[in-house]
Structure 1
Amino acid sequence: KDNHGKRRITRIYRFEFTVTGEERYEGRTVVQGGVTQRVELPPHRYTPPPEELH
């Protein structure tokens, strides 16, 4: 049930993503009644690209 007590279909989608192109991580999103309720991403490595020289 949603926050208003109405029954809604809840779907949980699992997906893989990569930041570096090598390491893969599993994320998850929860959709209730067609509205995204939550997106979960595990801690993952991220190195920002070097700034371009102008």
Structure 2
Amino acid sequence: MAYVILDSCISCGACEPECPVNVISAGDDKYVIDQSGCIDCGACANVCPVDAPVQE
């Protein structure tokens, strides 16, 4: 399983520096996670103020 970022993302950027494998980047409307590299650690979910990263 990997994490995805829901549409509720407010593009605050809190998640990006927390990712130990650097698979989070800014998209057009929200941040996105490259699921092929996600290690399912949950670091992004732990810092998100709106709970946008969720396990898929």
- Give the TM-score taking structure 1 as reference length: 0.22
Q: Which has the higher strand share?
A: 1
| Higher relative contact order (CA closer than 8 Å, sequence separation 6+) | 2
Please state which structure has a larger fraction of its residues in helix: 2
